[in-house]
Homo-oligomer: A and B are copies of this chain.
Amino acid sequence: MHFEWMNDIELVDHHCHGVLEHDLDRAGFEDLITESDRPGPVSTTFFDTQLGFMIRRYCAPLLDLPAFASPEDYLARRAELGAAEVNRRLLRGQGYNTLLIETGHRGDEILDPAHMGERAESGVAEVVRLERIAEELVESGVDSSRFRVAFSAELDSRLRTAVGVKSIAAYRIGLDFAAARPAADEVDAALAEWINATRRPGRLNDERVIRHLIWEAVDRAVPIQFHIGYGDPDVDLHRCNPLLLTDFLRLSRDSGATVMLLHCYPYHREAGYLAHCFEHVYCDVGLAINYTGAQSAQVIAESLELTPFHKALFSSDAWGAAELYCLGALLFKDGLDSVLAEWSQRHGWPEDELRRITTMIAAGNARRVYGLDDKGENG
Protein backbone atom coordinates (compact mmCIF):
# COMPACT_ATOMS: atom_id res chain seq x y z
CA MET A 1 0.00 0.00 0.00
CA HIS A 2 1.08 3.58 -0.66
CA PHE A 3 -1.04 4.83 2.24
CA GLU A 4 -0.76 3.07 5.58
CA TRP A 5 -4.25 4.07 6.68
CA MET A 6 -5.72 2.20 3.70
CA ASN A 7 -5.16 -1.06 5.57
CA ASP A 8 -7.40 0.13 8.38
CA ILE A 9 -10.29 1.43 6.30
CA GLU A 10 -13.62 0.01 7.40
CA LEU A 11 -15.93 -1.32 4.75
CA VAL A 12 -19.66 -1.35 4.35
CA ASP A 13 -20.32 -3.98 1.72
CA HIS A 14 -23.60 -2.73 0.35
CA HIS A 15 -24.21 -5.78 -1.83
CA CYS A 16 -23.15 -9.29 -0.96
CA HIS A 17 -24.54 -12.74 -0.26
CA GLY A 18 -23.90 -15.66 2.02
CA VAL A 19 -21.11 -18.22 1.62
CA LEU A 20 -21.40 -21.98 1.43
CA GLU A 21 -20.17 -23.90 4.41
CA HIS A 22 -19.86 -27.45 3.19
CA ASP A 23 -16.81 -29.15 1.73
CA LEU A 24 -16.30 -28.66 -1.97
CA ASP A 25 -14.65 -30.88 -4.54
CA ARG A 26 -12.60 -29.36 -7.32
CA ALA A 27 -15.51 -29.06 -9.75
CA GLY A 28 -17.66 -27.53 -7.05
CA PHE A 29 -15.02 -24.97 -6.17
CA GLU A 30 -14.24 -24.08 -9.77
CA ASP A 31 -17.93 -23.48 -10.34
CA LEU A 32 -17.82 -20.77 -7.64
CA ILE A 33 -14.93 -18.85 -9.20
CA THR A 34 -16.45 -18.22 -12.62
CA GLU A 35 -19.63 -16.65 -13.92
CA SER A 36 -19.85 -19.43 -16.48
CA ASP A 37 -22.43 -22.11 -15.80
CA ARG A 38 -20.34 -24.87 -17.36
CA PRO A 39 -16.84 -26.29 -16.91
CA GLY A 40 -14.22 -24.93 -19.28
CA PRO A 41 -12.73 -26.96 -22.16
CA VAL A 42 -10.98 -30.20 -21.33
CA SER A 43 -7.51 -29.67 -19.79
CA THR A 44 -8.27 -26.09 -18.74
CA THR A 45 -9.00 -24.71 -15.28
CA PHE A 46 -10.68 -21.56 -14.00
CA PHE A 47 -7.62 -21.11 -11.80
CA ASP A 48 -6.04 -19.76 -15.01
CA THR A 49 -7.96 -16.52 -14.74
CA GLN A 50 -7.46 -13.20 -13.01
CA LEU A 51 -9.51 -14.44 -10.07
CA GLY A 52 -7.77 -17.81 -9.93
CA PHE A 53 -4.34 -16.19 -9.85
CA MET A 54 -5.41 -13.84 -7.07
CA ILE A 55 -6.79 -16.71 -4.99
CA ARG A 56 -3.43 -18.47 -5.22
CA ARG A 57 -1.61 -15.21 -4.51
CA TYR A 58 -3.55 -13.81 -1.59
CA CYS A 59 -5.80 -16.50 -0.15
CA ALA A 60 -3.28 -19.33 -0.06
CA PRO A 61 -1.13 -17.61 2.62
CA LEU A 62 -4.23 -17.11 4.76
CA LEU A 63 -4.57 -20.90 4.75
CA ASP A 64 -0.89 -21.24 5.76
CA LEU A 65 0.29 -22.08 2.23
CA PRO A 66 2.94 -20.28 0.24
CA ALA A 67 1.71 -17.70 -2.26
CA PHE A 68 0.92 -19.35 -5.58
CA ALA A 69 0.44 -22.78 -4.11
CA SER A 70 -0.93 -25.09 -6.79
CA PRO A 71 -4.70 -25.42 -7.15
CA GLU A 72 -4.39 -29.01 -5.92
CA ASP A 73 -2.57 -27.97 -2.76
CA TYR A 74 -4.96 -25.11 -2.22
CA LEU A 75 -8.03 -27.30 -2.40
CA ALA A 76 -6.45 -30.00 -0.26
CA ARG A 77 -5.64 -27.48 2.45
CA ARG A 78 -9.13 -25.99 2.16
CA ALA A 79 -10.63 -29.43 2.79
CA GLU A 80 -8.24 -30.10 5.63
CA LEU A 81 -9.17 -26.91 7.47
CA GLY A 82 -12.88 -27.40 6.87
CA ALA A 83 -15.32 -24.93 5.42
CA ALA A 84 -16.19 -23.13 8.66
CA GLU A 85 -12.56 -22.42 9.50
CA VAL A 86 -11.79 -21.35 5.92
CA ASN A 87 -14.77 -19.00 5.99
CA ARG A 88 -13.61 -17.43 9.22
CA ARG A 89 -10.04 -17.01 8.00
CA LEU A 90 -11.07 -15.44 4.72
CA LEU A 91 -13.91 -13.27 5.98
CA ARG A 92 -12.10 -11.75 8.92
CA GLY A 93 -9.34 -9.22 8.94
CA GLN A 94 -10.38 -7.53 5.69
CA GLY A 95 -12.09 -4.58 7.35
CA TYR A 96 -15.71 -5.62 6.93
CA ASN A 97 -17.70 -3.49 9.31
CA THR A 98 -21.16 -4.14 7.90
CA LEU A 99 -22.54 -6.52 5.32
CA LEU A 100 -25.76 -5.76 3.48
CA ILE A 101 -26.72 -9.28 2.54
CA GLU A 102 -29.09 -10.09 -0.27
CA THR A 103 -30.63 -13.47 0.36
CA GLY A 104 -32.70 -14.06 -2.76
CA HIS A 105 -30.29 -16.32 -4.72
CA ARG A 106 -30.29 -19.97 -3.57
CA GLY A 107 -30.80 -18.64 -0.07
CA ASP A 108 -31.25 -22.08 1.48
CA GLU A 109 -27.75 -23.21 0.51
CA ILE A 110 -25.77 -20.36 2.00
CA LEU A 111 -25.13 -19.07 5.49
CA ASP A 112 -27.86 -16.76 6.72
CA PRO A 113 -27.11 -13.17 7.75
CA ALA A 114 -26.69 -13.96 11.42
CA HIS A 115 -24.10 -16.63 10.75
CA MET A 116 -22.39 -14.42 8.19
CA GLY A 117 -22.05 -11.72 10.84
CA GLU A 118 -20.44 -14.23 13.17
CA ARG A 119 -18.04 -15.56 10.57
CA ALA A 120 -17.00 -12.06 9.45
CA GLU A 121 -17.21 -10.48 12.89
CA SER A 122 -19.25 -7.75 11.30
CA GLY A 123 -22.63 -6.11 11.52
CA VAL A 124 -25.23 -7.29 9.06
CA ALA A 125 -28.43 -6.04 7.52
CA GLU A 126 -30.65 -7.52 4.89
CA VAL A 127 -31.58 -6.50 1.36
CA VAL A 128 -34.57 -8.34 -0.10
CA ARG A 129 -34.99 -9.43 -3.70
CA LEU A 130 -38.25 -8.23 -5.23
CA GLU A 131 -38.66 -11.06 -7.72
CA ARG A 132 -38.02 -13.69 -5.06
CA ILE A 133 -40.62 -12.27 -2.71
CA ALA A 134 -43.15 -12.40 -5.53
CA GLU A 135 -42.24 -15.97 -6.40
CA GLU A 136 -42.48 -17.04 -2.77
CA LEU A 137 -45.94 -15.56 -2.47
CA VAL A 138 -47.11 -17.47 -5.51
CA GLU A 139 -45.43 -20.64 -4.30
CA SER A 140 -47.30 -20.24 -1.01
CA GLY A 141 -50.59 -20.20 -2.90
CA VAL A 142 -51.43 -16.52 -3.39
CA ASP A 143 -53.53 -16.19 -6.52
CA SER A 144 -53.62 -13.33 -8.95
CA SER A 145 -56.62 -11.59 -7.39
CA ARG A 146 -54.87 -11.30 -4.02
CA PHE A 147 -51.31 -10.83 -5.22
CA ARG A 148 -51.01 -7.05 -5.26
CA VAL A 149 -52.37 -6.65 -1.76
CA ALA A 150 -50.32 -9.56 -0.47
CA PHE A 151 -47.12 -8.29 -2.07
CA SER A 152 -47.63 -4.83 -0.68
CA ALA A 153 -48.09 -6.20 2.84
CA GLU A 154 -45.15 -8.57 2.52
CA LEU A 155 -42.86 -5.85 1.24
CA ASP A 156 -43.84 -3.56 4.10
CA SER A 157 -43.19 -6.37 6.50
CA ARG A 158 -39.77 -7.17 5.08
CA LEU A 159 -38.78 -3.51 5.05
CA ARG A 160 -39.33 -3.27 8.75
CA THR A 161 -35.89 -4.84 9.04
CA ALA A 162 -34.43 -4.88 5.54
CA VAL A 163 -32.55 -1.74 4.50
CA GLY A 164 -33.28 -1.94 0.79
CA VAL A 165 -34.46 -4.05 -2.12
CA LYS A 166 -32.87 -5.53 -5.18
CA SER A 167 -34.24 -6.21 -8.65
CA ILE A 168 -32.84 -8.66 -11.15
CA ALA A 169 -34.89 -7.22 -13.99
CA ALA A 170 -31.65 -7.32 -16.00
CA TYR A 171 -31.72 -11.11 -15.88
CA ARG A 172 -35.41 -11.60 -16.31
CA ILE A 173 -36.56 -8.99 -18.83
CA GLY A 174 -33.55 -6.85 -19.73
CA LEU A 175 -33.21 -3.20 -18.74
CA ASP A 176 -35.03 -2.02 -21.85
CA PHE A 177 -38.35 -2.37 -20.07
CA ALA A 178 -41.04 0.29 -20.31
CA ALA A 179 -40.23 2.88 -17.66
CA ALA A 180 -43.70 3.85 -16.49
CA ARG A 181 -45.66 2.31 -13.68
CA PRO A 182 -47.99 -0.30 -15.20
CA ALA A 183 -51.74 0.09 -14.69
CA ALA A 184 -53.32 -2.12 -12.01
CA ASP A 185 -55.52 -4.03 -14.44
CA GLU A 186 -52.56 -4.63 -16.74
CA VAL A 187 -50.65 -6.06 -13.78
CA ASP A 188 -53.56 -8.22 -12.73
CA ALA A 189 -53.90 -9.66 -16.22
CA ALA A 190 -50.20 -10.42 -16.27
CA LEU A 191 -50.36 -12.02 -12.85
CA ALA A 192 -53.21 -14.24 -13.96
CA GLU A 193 -51.23 -15.33 -16.99
CA TRP A 194 -48.14 -16.07 -14.95
CA ILE A 195 -49.79 -17.79 -12.02
CA ASN A 196 -52.24 -19.86 -14.06
CA ALA A 197 -49.71 -20.77 -16.73
CA THR A 198 -48.73 -24.04 -15.16
CA ARG A 199 -49.37 -25.79 -11.91
CA ARG A 200 -45.98 -24.61 -10.69
CA PRO A 201 -45.39 -21.09 -12.00
CA GLY A 202 -41.73 -20.86 -10.97
CA ARG A 203 -39.57 -18.08 -12.38
CA LEU A 204 -41.07 -14.65 -12.74
CA ASN A 205 -40.27 -13.36 -16.22
CA ASP A 206 -43.19 -11.06 -16.88
CA GLU A 207 -42.26 -7.49 -17.65
CA ARG A 208 -45.49 -5.98 -16.34
CA VAL A 209 -45.25 -7.80 -13.03
CA ILE A 210 -41.60 -6.94 -12.52
CA ARG A 211 -42.29 -3.28 -13.30
CA HIS A 212 -45.06 -3.37 -10.72
CA LEU A 213 -42.66 -4.71 -8.09
CA ILE A 214 -40.13 -2.01 -8.88
CA TRP A 215 -42.71 0.74 -8.61
CA GLU A 216 -43.92 -0.67 -5.30
CA ALA A 217 -40.38 -0.20 -4.07
CA VAL A 218 -40.26 3.32 -5.51
CA ASP A 219 -43.40 4.15 -3.54
CA ARG A 220 -41.62 3.17 -0.36
CA ALA A 221 -38.72 5.55 -1.06
CA VAL A 222 -36.08 2.93 -0.29
CA PRO A 223 -32.72 2.14 -1.89
CA ILE A 224 -33.34 -0.05 -4.94
CA GLN A 225 -30.41 -2.11 -6.18
CA PHE A 226 -30.34 -3.12 -9.84
CA HIS A 227 -28.14 -5.78 -11.31
CA ILE A 228 -26.29 -4.05 -14.16
CA GLY A 229 -23.87 -5.38 -16.72
CA TYR A 230 -21.76 -8.51 -16.34
CA GLY A 231 -23.24 -11.69 -14.92
CA ASP A 232 -23.74 -15.29 -15.96
CA PRO A 233 -24.70 -16.55 -19.46
CA ASP A 234 -28.37 -16.03 -18.64
CA VAL A 235 -28.07 -12.30 -19.27
CA ASP A 236 -28.16 -10.61 -22.62
CA LEU A 237 -25.33 -8.30 -21.66
CA HIS A 238 -26.19 -5.67 -24.26
CA ARG A 239 -29.60 -5.38 -22.62
CA CYS A 240 -27.96 -4.74 -19.22
CA ASN A 241 -26.59 -1.32 -20.15
CA PRO A 242 -27.67 1.04 -17.36
CA LEU A 243 -28.42 3.78 -19.90
CA LEU A 244 -31.51 1.78 -20.76
CA LEU A 245 -32.83 2.88 -17.35
CA THR A 246 -32.63 6.58 -18.26
CA ASP A 247 -36.38 7.09 -18.63
CA PHE A 248 -37.04 5.20 -15.42
CA LEU A 249 -34.54 7.41 -13.63
CA ARG A 250 -36.32 10.51 -14.91
CA LEU A 251 -39.65 9.20 -13.67
CA SER A 252 -38.35 8.12 -10.25
CA ARG A 253 -36.30 11.22 -9.57
CA ASP A 254 -38.68 12.88 -7.16
CA SER A 255 -39.88 9.78 -5.36
CA GLY A 256 -37.39 9.71 -2.52
CA ALA A 257 -36.18 6.31 -3.70
CA THR A 258 -32.51 5.90 -4.55
CA VAL A 259 -31.13 3.69 -7.28
CA MET A 260 -27.98 1.60 -6.77
CA LEU A 261 -26.35 0.39 -9.98
CA LEU A 262 -24.48 -2.82 -9.14
CA HIS A 263 -21.26 -4.10 -10.80
CA CYS A 264 -21.89 -2.23 -14.06
CA TYR A 265 -18.88 -3.66 -15.94
CA PRO A 266 -18.28 -3.11 -18.82
CA TYR A 267 -20.73 -0.21 -18.59
CA HIS A 268 -19.17 1.39 -15.52
CA ARG A 269 -18.44 4.63 -17.36
CA GLU A 270 -22.07 4.78 -18.42
CA ALA A 271 -23.09 4.13 -14.81
CA GLY A 272 -20.81 6.96 -13.72
CA TYR A 273 -22.62 9.27 -16.10
CA LEU A 274 -25.96 8.38 -14.50
CA ALA A 275 -24.59 8.80 -10.97
CA HIS A 276 -23.21 12.16 -12.06
CA CYS A 277 -26.42 13.46 -13.64
CA PHE A 278 -29.15 11.98 -11.46
CA GLU A 279 -29.13 13.00 -7.82
CA HIS A 280 -30.69 9.72 -6.66
CA VAL A 281 -28.29 7.35 -8.49
CA TYR A 282 -25.25 5.57 -7.00
CA CYS A 283 -22.95 2.92 -8.43
CA ASP A 284 -20.23 0.39 -7.69
CA VAL A 285 -17.97 -2.00 -9.62
CA GLY A 286 -18.35 -4.83 -7.12
CA LEU A 287 -18.30 -8.05 -9.08
CA ALA A 288 -15.83 -6.63 -11.58
CA ILE A 289 -13.13 -6.06 -8.97
CA ASN A 290 -12.92 -9.76 -8.19
CA TYR A 291 -13.14 -10.93 -11.77
CA THR A 292 -10.73 -8.41 -13.33
CA GLY A 293 -8.07 -9.05 -10.68
CA ALA A 294 -4.86 -7.27 -11.59
CA GLN A 295 -6.84 -4.96 -13.83
CA SER A 296 -9.27 -3.91 -11.13
CA ALA A 297 -7.29 -0.75 -10.38
CA GLN A 298 -8.04 0.47 -13.91
CA VAL A 299 -11.70 -0.44 -13.59
CA ILE A 300 -11.91 1.44 -10.29
CA ALA A 301 -10.21 4.45 -11.85
CA GLU A 302 -12.62 4.47 -14.77
CA SER A 303 -15.60 4.19 -12.46
CA LEU A 304 -14.36 7.31 -10.64
CA GLU A 305 -14.20 9.46 -13.76
CA LEU A 306 -17.74 10.84 -13.70
CA THR A 307 -19.11 9.31 -10.50
CA PRO A 308 -19.01 11.98 -7.81
CA PHE A 309 -16.98 10.79 -4.85
CA HIS A 310 -20.16 11.02 -2.75
CA LYS A 311 -21.95 8.59 -5.09
CA ALA A 312 -19.47 5.71 -5.39
CA LEU A 313 -20.03 2.61 -3.26
CA PHE A 314 -18.12 -0.49 -2.29
CA SER A 315 -19.43 -4.02 -2.74
CA SER A 316 -17.92 -7.46 -3.08
CA ASP A 317 -20.99 -9.15 -4.60
CA ALA A 318 -19.50 -12.27 -3.03
CA TRP A 319 -21.63 -15.41 -3.22
CA GLY A 320 -20.67 -18.89 -2.16
CA ALA A 321 -16.88 -18.73 -1.85
CA ALA A 322 -15.34 -16.82 1.04
CA GLU A 323 -12.44 -16.07 -1.32
CA LEU A 324 -14.68 -13.53 -3.04
CA TYR A 325 -15.10 -11.65 0.24
CA CYS A 326 -11.40 -11.75 0.96
CA LEU A 327 -10.35 -10.58 -2.48
CA GLY A 328 -13.26 -8.20 -2.94
CA ALA A 329 -12.02 -6.18 0.03
CA LEU A 330 -8.33 -6.66 -0.59
CA LEU A 331 -8.39 -5.74 -4.28
CA PHE A 332 -10.71 -2.80 -3.67
CA LYS A 333 -8.35 -1.32 -1.11
CA ASP A 334 -5.28 -2.15 -3.12
CA GLY A 335 -6.74 -0.77 -6.34
CA LEU A 336 -8.06 2.41 -4.80
CA ASP A 337 -4.74 2.90 -3.04
CA SER A 338 -2.90 2.56 -6.31
CA VAL A 339 -5.25 4.87 -8.20
CA LEU A 340 -5.22 7.57 -5.53
CA ALA A 341 -1.45 7.36 -5.23
CA GLU A 342 -1.08 8.00 -8.95
CA TRP A 343 -3.52 10.89 -8.97
CA SER A 344 -1.89 12.35 -5.91
CA GLN A 345 1.58 12.05 -7.35
CA ARG A 346 0.57 13.63 -10.63
CA HIS A 347 -1.68 16.34 -9.27
CA GLY A 348 -0.74 16.92 -5.66
CA TRP A 349 -4.01 15.79 -4.15
CA PRO A 350 -3.35 15.96 -0.39
CA GLU A 351 -3.41 12.83 1.71
CA ASP A 352 -6.14 14.01 4.06
CA GLU A 353 -8.44 14.56 1.08
CA LEU A 354 -7.60 11.09 -0.24
CA ARG A 355 -8.46 9.59 3.10
CA ARG A 356 -11.69 11.55 3.30
CA ILE A 357 -12.97 10.35 -0.07
CA THR A 358 -11.79 6.80 0.62
CA THR A 359 -13.87 6.77 3.77
CA MET A 360 -16.85 8.04 1.83
CA ILE A 361 -16.56 5.39 -0.87
CA ALA A 362 -15.71 2.53 1.49
CA ALA A 363 -18.46 3.15 4.00
CA GLY A 364 -19.81 6.67 4.43
CA ASN A 365 -21.89 6.91 1.28
CA ALA A 366 -23.55 3.58 1.99
CA ARG A 367 -24.21 4.56 5.60
CA ARG A 368 -25.87 7.76 4.45
CA VAL A 369 -28.02 6.31 1.71
CA TYR A 370 -29.09 3.14 3.54
CA GLY A 371 -29.53 4.97 6.83
CA LEU A 372 -27.07 2.73 8.69
CA ASP A 373 -25.53 3.28 12.02
CA ASP A 374 -22.03 2.15 12.70
CA LYS A 375 -21.81 -1.68 12.72
CA GLY A 376 -25.07 -1.98 10.76
CA GLU A 377 -28.51 -2.82 11.97
CA ASN A 378 -27.59 -5.86 13.98
CA GLY A 379 -23.92 -5.23 14.63
Contact = CB atoms under 8 A, between A and B. Distances in A.
Contact of A34 (B40, B250, B276): B276
A36 B253 CA distance: 12
A150 interface: no
State the oligomeric state as a number of copies.
3
Given A238-B243, A243-B236, A292 B276 contact: no
Contacts of A349: 53, 57, 68, 294
A201 interface: no
Contacts of A278: 36, 233
B357 A273 contact: no
A343 B237 contact: no
Given A36-B276, A41-B369, A294-B349, 16 more contacts: A38-B279, A40-B279, A40-B311, A41-B280, A46-B308, A54-B347, A67-B348, A230-B306, A233-B278, A236-B243, A236-B246, A238-B241, A238-B244, A291-B305, A292-B305, A298-B301
Nearest to A340: B294
A269 B273 CA distance: 17
Interface in A322-365: 334, 338, 342-343, 346-350, 353, 357, 360
Contacts of A241: 238
Nearest to A34: B276
Given A38-B279, A233-B278, A273-B237, A295 B291 contact: no
B347 A57 contact: yes
A349 B304 CA distance: 27
